[in-house]
């Protein structure tokens, strides 16, 4: 028996010990909910669970020792290959057994289209213990490699938090998505644990300070007062019903649909922040009109500065200076298309003189795309509407202090529900993606938008 065989046996023994320990813990939890519970019964069950714990520790130690031994063997083999004379070196690589990283449970060379993964998910719901074991190993691998991304780790017994193998979503051609460029630069907050509103207090009547008229006379006084600002928590959700035939007889269907639901979730959230009635950025921002039958980028730029001036005037000492300009990609490329012989009189930090700004050459959705001549970062977001104005062909440019664009989200959003029983009569599997969010751009009336006929569908003429 080789060292690799011993390691494989040790891994299997550890997996079995972990499964047994989990079963003992589940039995203990179930026992504690028994109304006829006795202290002796609990003590006995705790002892059994602790024994299972000890077995897990023992098996883990045994595996660690074997892995350490294997690592040392690999080091010795590598050293030997470097120092041995050519005539006396070991056989060729493909003529001897080698032990490297353990293979993943689901691999593209054996399950290229995800059939085994999907089959195991379905079989686990029907009580197939071997399928459950494979899924448990897969989740353990995911926690090792991407643990920071698995915030909410549902037990495999519930099968509500399974992670789709990454390679299944890497190689197919998904439908393009606008995703969430603006949402990603908003000031983030964790969603409160309970309630369907987020309440903020805003001081709307200030105190008063003035010069005292004469000695021993009353000084200025005004009672401070606040107003409660209530922000609704909204639910962003989408669903898809797949036939069991598509899942069980198809290949890679479920992860592809799930990935698309996540993409639509991101786009929907971002669209609400920009365009939602009453509270969306377009509806709370103060308009800066740019009316021009023959618009040019050099004529547009002063409007940008006018908007930024309004942002600072609204915030005063509450201004963070972390301003951003949010625009559609067609507007960003139109501004890059502009050429001329003039430049701003006053140069700005981080921007080369005699330029109209800087393009960072980032791709869509990867953060700041560049800076304007005054150093304001640009966020490109194609969730901005392009059917505005009387001619239904205008877009808008938004200018905001990003720290006053507040977004509350559940840290674990979006969540995934996979329900089989609901559609069992029609052999359907219901997939639901959902999450809670709340937002406001109106804690202060700071947001500005450039709008008007100067922002019709651009023509790329170099002017």
One pLDDT digit (tens) per residue for the chain, 463 residues: 677 878 888 888 888 888 888 888 888 887 777 777 778 787 888 888 888 889 888 888 888 888 888 877 777 776 666 554 444 444 544 454 444 556 788 787 776 656 677 677 767 766 777 888 888 888 788 777 655 444 433 333 333 445 666 665 555 567 889 999 999 999 999 998 889 999 988 888 999 999 999 999 999 999 999 899 999 999 999 999 988 888 777 666 777 888 889 899 999 999 999 999 999 999 999 999 999 999 999 899 999 999 999 999 999 999 999 999 999 999 999 998 887 766 665 666 766 766 667 888 888 988 899 899 888 999 999 999 999 999 999 999 999 999 999 999 988 788 888 887 777 788 888 989 999 999 999 999 999 999 999 999 999 987 6
Specify the pLDDT at position 432: 92
Per the DSSP assignment, residues forming a β-bridge with 324 are 400
Specify the pLDDT at position 354: 67
Domain residue ranges of the chain, discontinuous segments joined by +: 1-102, 106-171, 179-195+228-463
Element of type H or E holding 232: strand 225-232
Element of type H or E holding 336: helix 329-337
Cα separation, 247 vs 127, in Å, equals 17
User: Is 439 in a helix, a strand, or coil?
Assistant: strand
Cα separation, 387 vs 394, in Å, equals 6
Asked if the bond preceding 414 is cis, omega within 30° of 0, the reply is: yes
The answer to whether 114 and 251 have CB atoms below 8 angstroms apart is yes
Specify the pLDDT at position 397: 98
C-alpha closest to that of 450 among 381, 383, 399: 399
Specify the pLDDT at position 450: 98
Contacts of range 364-372, beta carbons closer than 8 Å, 24 or more positions apart: 364/181, 364/329, 365/179, 365/180, 365/181, 367/181, 367/184, 367/185, 368/324, 369/332, 370/332, 372/301, 372/304, 372/325
Q: For residue 60, what are the contacts with CB-CB under 8 A and spacing of at least 6?
A: 14
Specify the pLDDT at position 41: 80
Specify the pLDDT at position 10: 85
Specify the pLDDT at position 419: 83
Cα separation, 55 vs 64, in Å, equals 14
Tokens 């008063």 map to which residue? 208
């Amino acid at each position: 028996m080789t060292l690799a065989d011993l390691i494989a046996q040790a891994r299997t023994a550890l997996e079995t010990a972990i499964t047994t320990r989990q079963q003992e813990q589940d039995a203990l939890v179930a026992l504690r909910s028994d109304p006829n519970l006795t202290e002796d019964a609990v003590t006995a069950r705790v002892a059994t669970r602790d024994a299972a714990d000890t077995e897990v520790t023992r098996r883990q130690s045994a595996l660690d020792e074997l892995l350490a031994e294997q690592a040392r063997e690999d080091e010795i083999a590598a050293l030997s290959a470097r120092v041995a004379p050519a005539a006396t070196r070991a056989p060729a690589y493909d003529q001897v057994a080698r032990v490297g990283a353990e293979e993943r449970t689901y691999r593209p060379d054996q399950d290229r289209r995800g059939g085994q993964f999907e089959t195991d998910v379905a079989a686990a719901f029907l009580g197939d213990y071997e399928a459950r074991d494979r899924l448990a190993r897969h989740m353990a691998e995911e926690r090792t490699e991407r643990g920071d991304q698995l915030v909410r780790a549902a037990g495999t017994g519930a099968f509500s938090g399974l992670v789709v193998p990454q390679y299944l979503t890497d190689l197919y051609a998904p439908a393009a998505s606008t995703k969430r460029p603006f949402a990603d630069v908003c000031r983030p907050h964790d969603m409160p644990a309970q309630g369907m509103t987020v309440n903020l207090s805003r001081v709307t009547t200030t105190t008063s300070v003035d010069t005292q008229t004469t000695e021993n006379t009353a000084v200025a006084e005004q009672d401070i007062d606040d107003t409660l600002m209530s922000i609704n928590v909204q639910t962003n959700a989408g669903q898809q019903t797949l036939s069991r035939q598509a899942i069980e007889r198809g290949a890679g269907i479920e992860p592809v649909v799930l990935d698309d639901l996540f993409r639509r979730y991101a786009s929907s959230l971002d669209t609400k922040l920009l365009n939602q009635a009453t509270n969306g950025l377009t509806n709370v921002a103060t308009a800066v009109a740019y009316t021009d039958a023959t618009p040019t980028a050099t004529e547009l730029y002063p409007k940008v500065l006018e908007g930024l001036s309004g942002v600072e005037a609204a915030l005063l000492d509450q201004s963070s200076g972390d301003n951003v300009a949010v625009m559609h990609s067609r507007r960003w490329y139109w501004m890059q298309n502009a050429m001329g012989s003039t430049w701003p009189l006053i140069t700005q930090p981080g921007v080369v003189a005699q330029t109209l700004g800087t393009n960072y050459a980032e791709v869509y959705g990867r953060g700041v795309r560049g800076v304007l001549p005054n150093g304001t970062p640009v966020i490109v977001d194609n969730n901005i509407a392009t059917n505005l104005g009387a001619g239904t062909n205008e877009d808008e440019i938004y200018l905001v202090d990003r720290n006053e664009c507040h977004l509350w989200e559940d840290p674990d959003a979006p969540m995934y529900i996979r329900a089989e029983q609901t559609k069992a009569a029609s052999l359907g599997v219901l997939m639901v993606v959902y999450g809670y969010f709340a937002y406001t751009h109106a804690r202060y009336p700071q947001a500005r938008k450039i709008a008007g006929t100067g922002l019709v569908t651009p023509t790329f003429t170099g002017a």
